[in-house]
Amino acid sequence: METKNIKHKKLPLGFTFSFPCRQNKLEEGVLLSWTKHFKVRGVQEMDVVSCLRNALRKHKDMDAEVFALVNDTVGTMMTCGYDDQRCEVGVIIGTGTNACYMEEMRHIDLVEGDEGRMCINTEWGAFGDDGSLNDIRTEFDREIDLGSINPGKQLGLYLGELVRLILLKMAKEGLLFNGKLSTALRTKGKIETKHVAAMEKYKEGLNNTKEILMDLGLTPSEEDCIAVQHVCTIVSFRSANLCAAALAAILARLRENKKLTRLRTTVGIDGTLYKIHPQYAKRLHKVVRRLVSNCDVRFLLSESGSAKGAAMVTAVAYRLVSQRKQINEILASFILTKENLIDVKNKMREELEYGLKKETHPTATVKMLPTYVCGTPDGTEKGKFLALDLGGTNFRVLLVKIRSGRRKSVRMYNKIFAIPLEIMQGTGEELFDHIVQCIAEFLEYMGIKGARLPLGFTFSFPCRQASIDKGSLVGWTKGFKATDCEGEDVVDMLREAIKRRNEFDLDIVAVVNDTVGTMMTCGYEDPNCEIGLIAGTGSNVCYMEEMTNIEIVEGDEGKMCINTEWGGFGDNGCIDNIRTKYDKEVDEGSLNPRRQRYEKMTSGMYLGEIVRQILIDLTKQGLLFRGQISESLRTRGIFETKFLSQIESDRLALLQVRRILQQLGLDSTCDDSIIVKEVCGAVSRRAAQLCGAGLAAIVEKKRENGNLEHLKVTVGVDGTLYKLHPHFSRILRETVKDLAPQCDVTFMLSEDGSGKGAALITAVAKRLHSVAEN
């Protein structure tokens, strides 16, 4: 650092440490054993990075932070990987020998996680320590092993020493040098690998052999030189064969891992023996290709050793650490503390009260709309009913047959129709004519055009109701924008459209919200169900409230279902402290800016948009998609809820996440996929927690309404987010339990949606009506 005049800089440091280490992290490695003539005391079983850090601390004028500990084999693979991205194996054949390769995470039991790949340092030098190579080991191998620093370990590449021992035996037996020995020939380590390489050189080999032998104090004849050269060839050829066999095993494994009939790959390679020996590389390549004929292998010599690779690993680690910091800062704004959630619960509770009071109702953000649904099913309902279900881009028409008594049952027949965008955003007349056209098709299809059936209309938009069959639209949500509807009675608009068509007549008994429909559907199965929750495209809750608390409706007897329309919670700025800049961007770009703020943080329609805004920001900062904002990332609405659910699925490997992103036109790396998954997780987790906090306010209110120490209640739930997302329902339930510990809440999935609920409400209304008449 002094020479390069960089002492004053804080620099990331990568440490190539070419000895077997057990690594739990990239920047930590416990030395298992010394090899290659090293035998320093007190280091084995120690973390060598800590040792290096301690030594660095002694130099106060130096500031270097260790980010990565890398084996030289890994360094070689990374160095070559920089020039050839197919490189997934690193091999060293030099003083020692070793290999590393990219293994599938799912096969590495020692490390948690099964996504992506990780580089495995094989430490193959120890292959055979268990005796598995005994049948091919010679007396010379055994002699070398016994004379080494680590007997019984790392049986392999002491080529020069092997040649010396063979020549010594041949001389002793009178086969070489006329049986004469020299002191040098008897001395360990006098013949080195570089000598073996020189003796095998084409053309100059014999001359070199003569010189080397004379330097050893011997007087060789020409026959001696040829014989010695032959010994060198046999020893180095065996070495190349052994390395080729081990490498072939790795290549065969890679091919099987990828389930390919043919593998194309690159092996990064380094080491003095491989580099300086004239025939070694050629022999190794030839044998590898013969052993794995179904692999096309490119061998790439590492020009700058393993140091460049270690620097690469360090650079990547350094980039990831600073990236991680930036990503964590961005996602931190989506983390809600328990205090935040309690605050949301308390504020929601206040807004519920404002909505119920006559004086504050007109300005309340949570509308608290009376539905005039005053009872849940009791099992005596029966008859045939029609139900309509309008709540999103699909419209359903259903025929519902309800049987009462011991064999009570509900049978349904339905047909789904699409609502094109031009009709969602056209005129009110066009929308209701389209609805009636769909009803006509269904009645025709079922052969019941002549029957005047009672009808329940699930209309999943905020309505102010004056009775069960009157509802004026407060305002469109969920992308609907049909003109001349707001403030109008939707039942009247439907009746007018039926008249215009003049083909059939229907008895419209009830207009209901999908949330109420969900509560009724579940209430038919479980009399304890007094709350309905929708967590799907939109987000809403209804519940049975005591009539005494509903100041905006006459009468104090019994209960009435209140459609909270809680999506508008926060429109007065009461939750601005937890809204992020991404929420504000999504809000500003929506069809109804500054309205439905809570819904925009909790419902499926907007979560994907929030994710998209975050991804754009991360890409702008160069943390994703190589800094390239693709056309599809600029497209509003590409991230549907279903993609969020798929991306966050625990069963999906990163490769599948990448595939989903590619379908969306986003070309991602594995790192990108991890980040996208995290972003989706942060957004959906917050949505589930906010939903849970809101629901906790409702169950607490019901508990206090009944002056109960403990409340036992069932919540009927519907909606794609709750049903399909892998974690949403669990986080929602946990949040409710945490924030309303005195309430025992059961969640019941509405299997048949709100259409069945509309029919049940119609049936209950008919029942109550006939009771009132009698």
What number of helices (H) and strands (E) belong to the chain? 25, 22
Q: 113-122, 458-467, 599-608 — which one is most confidently predicted on average?
A: 599-608
* Choice among 8-17, 212-221, 411-420 with the minimum mean pLDDT: 8-17
Residue 657's identity, in one-letter code, is V
Q: How many CA atoms lie within 13 A of 28 on its CB side?
A: 5
Higher pLDDT, 148 or 719: 719
What is the arithmetic mean of pLDDT over 15-28? 86
The reported pLDDT for the residue numbered 546 is 96
Q: Which percentage of the chain shows pLDDT scores above 90? A: 61
Q: Clarify whether 396 is annotated catalytic.
A: yes
Per-residue pLDDT for 272 more than 50? Answer: yes
The reported pLDDT for the residue numbered 691 is 98
What DSSP string describes 1-35? -TTTT-TTSEEEEEEE--S-EEEEETTEEEE----
| Residue located via tokens 């600029």 | 634
* Catalytic-labelled residue, pool 396, 579, 658, 686: 396
State phi, psi for 466 to the nearest 5 degrees: -100, -20
Higher pLDDT, 17 or 700: 700
Per-residue pLDDT for 55 more than 50? Answer: yes
- C-alpha torsion sign, points 767, 769, 770, 772: positive
**Buried (b) or exposed (e) across 250-281, using 16+ Cβ within 10 A?**
bbeebbebeeeeebebbbbbbbebbeebebbb
Q: Which two tokens mark 325?
A: 């910091």
What is the arithmetic mean of pLDDT over 418-444? 94
State the pTM of this model: 0.68
What is the arithmetic mean of pLDDT over 735-750? 97
**Distance, CA of 89 to CA of 200 (rounded, Å):** 28
Q: For residue range 310-319, list pLDDT tens digits in order.
A: 888 888 888 7
407 pLDDT band, cuts 50/70/90, is confident
* Catalytic-labelled residue, pool 145, 270, 389, 514: 514
**Distance, CA of 43 to CA of 46 (rounded, Å):** 5
Q: Clarify whether 460 is annotated catalytic.
A: yes
488 pLDDT band, cuts 50/70/90, is very high
| Residue located via tokens 């025992």 | 744
Per-residue pLDDT for 229 more than 50? Answer: yes
* Choice among 20-29, 43-52, 266-275 with the minimum mean pLDDT: 20-29
Phi-psi region of 442 (alpha: psi -120 to 50; beta: other; left: phi over 0): alpha
| Beta strands 470-473 and 463-467, pairing class | antiparallel
Q: Clarify whether 514 is annotated catalytic.
A: yes
**Distance, CA of 415 to CA of 434 (rounded, Å):** 14
Higher pLDDT, 478 or 543: 543
Q: Which percentage of the chain shows pLDDT scores above 70? A: 97
Per-residue pLDDT for 43 more than 60? Answer: yes
**Distance, CA of 609 to CA of 590 (rounded, Å):** 10
State which H helix or E strand residue 266 sits in: strand 263-270
**Distance, CA of 742 to CA of 625 (rounded, Å):** 47
For residue 99, the cross-strand partners are: 91
Per-residue pLDDT for 570 more than 50? Answer: yes
What is the arithmetic mean of pLDDT over 572-595? 94
The reported pLDDT for the residue numbered 8 is 78
The reported pLDDT for the residue numbered 156 is 45
Q: How far is CA 237 from the centre of its chain?
A: 48
Report, in angstroms and rounded to the nearest whole number, the Rg of the chain calculated over CA atoms. 38
The reported pLDDT for the residue numbered 155 is 41
State which H helix or E strand residue 186 sits in: helix 183-186
**Distance, CA of 634 to CA of 637 (rounded, Å):** 9
Q: What is the 3-state secondary structure (H, E, C) of 648-717?
A: HCCCCCHHHHHHHHHHCCCCCCHHHHHHHHHHHHHHHHHHHHHHHHHHHHHHHHHHHHCCCCCEEEEEEE
Higher pLDDT, 7 or 278: 278
Per-residue pLDDT for 483 more than 80? Answer: yes
Q: For residue range 297-340, list pLDDT tens digits in order.
A: 999 999 877 778 888 888 888 877 888 899 999 999 999 999 99
What is the three-class DSSP state of 746? strand
Average pLDDT, the chain: 90
The reported pLDDT for the residue numbered 26 is 84
The reported pLDDT for the residue numbered 157 is 52
